[in-house]
Amino acid sequence: MPITQGTPASDQPSLGAVSGDDAEPYMPKKKSTQKIRAEFRKKHQVRTRKRDLTRDFQQHGFEADESVRSERISGKGDLTRKRTVIGAVVDGQHTGLSVAPDVDETTSRRGRVLSIHGVDSQVIDPHGRTFRCATSGLLKTLSTEQRHVVAAGDIVWFRPEGEDRGMIERIEPRHGVLSRTFRGRQHVLVTNVDQLVIVSSVAEPNLKPNLIDRFLVAAEQNGIRPVICLNKIDLVDPADLQPLVGVYGQLGYRVLLISARTGFGMDGLRDVLQGRESVVAGQSGVGKSSLLNVLDPDLQLRVSEVSEDTQKGKHTTTAARLIPLRFGGYVVDTPGIRQFQLWDVIPPEVAGLFRDVRPYVSLCRFPNCTHTHEAECAVKDAVADGRIDARRYESYCYLFAGDD
């Protein structure tokens, strides 16, 4: 399966994070491995099935039915949550796993995950070949808080099996991870990016500044450079956007006013994406795929119109997909997000992730001030004096309270 439609393999942009220096082939590095007691997911005991139940009933009735009616979930015996594996201990914050299984680097290949399709992942190797890879049983059963073990953008080691199949055996440490909370677990949207392009439409659907703030907090938390991209400005008077643009601009965020329909501001977006590893995120219908199609018509990403009744977009992009760009760098197009609940952020940490709130935190009278109801609060005084935007403070209060 080609990476981009209409792009010959020899012309495909190089993914430097996969192969390193293009001038020299990747040389496996020997890692120190050891026997590790690793924690695995809890499994239920398999219910034993008794045969000839019908015949026994006809002869003895229900009284002779001694089939197993319950499951044992004790952590003892063959149901223990710990097993001994060979590998290296790693920081679970970087991969979501506590151990990196040992692999034979002479028979395995290093690659990068382009997209996830059900239980399979599309992986590209340093030579530009793509493989449809399953995930090893060891990785899938290791204890983790993640919704899925493998994510788009991951650097992995996989074992080729046939012409275009493979088996992912190890995930390399990550950086630049964008994730959210989904049903109490970590849903990793993309990994190994250095830039988050937050796309929002000023109309159809309506602008949601609070959702932009959530993405900004996630970017601050994970050390990702954020860029705010306001699309569809041909539908409104740009002067009406100046107060919002001014607030974000004073905080040091770059804001782009663009229109995929007219092409206005697209050169600025191209400059932002060129040579960088970016992820494009936003709610459904804001025009993420449309913008990428304008920058590179050969991509031919699916797009759809916004519903006239609900003013909400439709989910045309169903999975995160890593796309090499002709003009350098790559971008990850993500499915539309209507709710973005932060992952691994507790209420006391929220203030430190707001650039405009952070300078006043240490000036409050009480060291454990929540900046919501306390007296002599420097943050509330700054809001009253106009030094902190009132809408931004309202967004902070929502996040502190844990509201979606």
Q: What is the pLDDT of residue 298?
A: 82
Q: Please say whether the beta carbons of 149 and 186 come within 8 A.
A: no
- Give the global pTM: 0.79
pLDDT one digit per residue (tens) for the chain, 404 residues: 444 433 444 444 445 445 444 434 444 444 566 777 767 766 544 555 566 667 776 776 655 455 555 555 554 444 447 777 777 777 666 677 777 788 888 899 999 999 998 889 999 999 999 999 999 988 888 878 888 899 999 999 999 998 899 999 999 989 999 999 988 888 999 999 999 999 999 998 899 999 999 999 999 999 999 999 999 999 999 999 999 999 999 999 999 999 999 999 999 999 999 999 999 999 888 988 889 989 988 887 876 555 454 444 454 556 788 998 888 889 998 887 777 889 989 999 999 999 999 999 999 999 999 999 999 999 999 999 999 999 999 999 999 998 76
Q: What sign results for the dihedral spanned by CA atoms 305, 306, 307, 313?
A: positive
Amino acid at 355: R
Tell me which amino acid residue 327 is: F
Separation of alpha carbons 189 and 200, rounded Å: 18
Of 2.60.40.1190, 3.40.50.1470, 1.10.3720.10, 2.40.50.140, the CATH number of 84-174 is: 2.40.50.140
Angle between helix 288-295 and helix 266-273 axes, rounded to 10 deg: 90
Strand partners, 324: 330
Picking from 154, 149, 216, 148, the residue whose alpha carbon sits closest to that of residue 191 is 154
Give residue 230's pLDDT. Answer: 96
Contact 117, 319 (CB under 8 A): yes
At 211 the pLDDT is 93
pLDDT at 9: 42
Rounded to 5 degrees, φ, ψ at 184 are: 80, 0
Q: Collect all residues with Cβ–Cβ distance below 8 Å to 122 and sequence separation of at least 6.
A: 1, 113, 114, 115, 116, 130, 131, 132, 133
Domain boundaries, the chain: 84-174, 192-333, 347-401
**Could you tell me whether strands 178-182 and 155-160 are parallel, antiparallel, or unpaired per DSSP bridges?**
unpaired
DSSP 236: S
Is residue 314 within 8 A of residue 5, CB to CB? The reply is no
φ, ψ for residue 395, nearest 5 deg: -65, -40
Q: At what angle do helices 390-401 and 209-222 cross, to 10 degrees?
A: 70
- In sequence order, the β-bridge partners of residue 254 are 227
Q: Distance (Å, rounded) from C-alpha 171 to C-alpha 154?
A: 7
So what's the pLDDT on residue 119? 87
User: Alpha-carbon distance 99 to 367, whole Å?
Assistant: 38
Q: What share of the chain is helix, strand, coil (3-state, %, to 5)?
A: 25, 25, 50
Pairwise CA distance, residues 398 & 404, whole Å: 8
What are 265-273's contacts with CB under 8 Å, separation 24+? 265/233, 266/291, 266/294, 266/295, 269/197, 269/229, 269/295, 270/295, 270/327, 272/195, 272/197, 272/227, 273/195, 273/197, 273/325, 273/327, 273/329, 273/331
Q: How far is CA 146 from CA 95, 124, 244, 268, in A?
A: 10, 23, 35, 36
The CATH architecture one would assign to domain 347-401 is: Orthogonal Bundle (1.10)
Report CA Rg, the chain.
25
Domain range 192-333, CATH architecture: 3-Layer(aba) Sandwich (3.40)
Question: 192-333 and 347-401 share one CATH topology?
Answer: no
